Structure 1
């Protein structure tokens, strides 16, 4: 079940980071806005570029939360491995780095150092949670991750039928 959950959540991560140009969930984003290449190598510069704090904070928490399940599931799969948290953190880093490179190469959005930092932190926190939470809680958390995957698939299937385009601002 861990492998299935990790595979499903990995697909969610890929969909939310590299494939937003090809689908939409309601009117959360405009797919056409993701057919470009951008590079932001200065850490946390978005906080200084943005007119409000909502966008940068939403992105920051979203990036951490996106990789929490990856770290959690990897820690359970690699249970007992030496330097478990280090291994999970490194895997999160290289997974995120791969995404950022692919986004840049294939013009699938912004390649941002913040994403790399925050995704890595999310994987590390997920791994830490797996090591600190009681063992009885692991199975329910894995089921919640699978439920989140199913919920995401339903939202993608409903696509633009969610929301009212006349009420979208901007």
Structure 2
């Protein structure tokens, strides 16, 4: 007799998980001007516009190793779950990679067009690479791990929603360092534009 954990997750569960995770991605890339999680950022500082079309420029221009690790590693890791879930639906690594690129590109364009963040070719490239890595992980893990991916996604989405609900009640405002979009903009020569 097969148990629930040995059967692949139904397409509906995977689809709902992917859509929910896409909501997290959109929220954390384009909507930070409209909500807070603790004191990680100030919404009023998120209405910025910047454009970087030079690949891997943070490797030689960034003044901080943290910026490189967070920027490159974060963008890569952010799309790994997308790649895992998309692969479970389409079953092809190449198509999953294209879906990752096809989801990342409109985010980068929209960030610039609507003044919702920095549009960076590196973000696009690393998001796409993350989707590819997620597809490889899902392929390697096989169908038995599908419930694990769906469950982990549910946990991530629930934690994200709880963090949004708790909002600015998390953290101590007296211990906040000046690390935000405005500081990043000044450091990288971008202009900070106020909300209309």
TM bucket normalised to smaller: over 0.9
Rounded Cα–Cα distance in structure 2 between residues aligned with 1:47 and 1:9: 29
The residue aligned with 2:60 is 48
SS in 1 for 2:50: strand
The residue aligned with 1:120 is 128
Aligned length: 166
1:51 deviation in Å?
1.8
Where do residues 1-170 of structure 1 align in structure 2 (5 Å cutoff)? 1-79=13-91, 84-170=92-178
Between stretches 11-20 and 57-66, larger displacement belongs to: 57-66
- TM-score with structure 1 setting the length: 0.94
What is the CA deviation profile of residues 103-143 of structure 1, one whole-angstrom value per residue up to 9, with x for unaligned ones?
11100010000100000001000111111013222211211
Rounded Cα–Cα distance in structure 1 between residues aligned with 2:36 and 2:153: 21
CA RMSD of aligned residues (A): 1.1
Between stretches 58-67 and 124-133, larger displacement belongs to: 58-67
What is the CA deviation profile of residues 4-35 of structure 1, one whole-angstrom value per residue up to 9, with x for unaligned ones?
10110000000010001111111112222210
Consecutive unaligned residues in structure 1, runs of 5 or more: none
- TM-score with structure 2 setting the length: 0.82
4+ long deviations beyond 6 Å: none
Rounded Cα–Cα distance in structure 2 between residues aligned with 1:166 and 1:110: 28
SS in 2 for 1:110: strand
Rounded Cα–Cα distance in structure 1 between residues aligned with 2:110 and 2:174: 34
Consecutive unaligned residues in structure 2, runs of 5 or more: 1-12, 179-196
Largest Rg, 1 or 2: 2
Check conservation: 2:85, 2:149, Cα contact below 8 A.
no
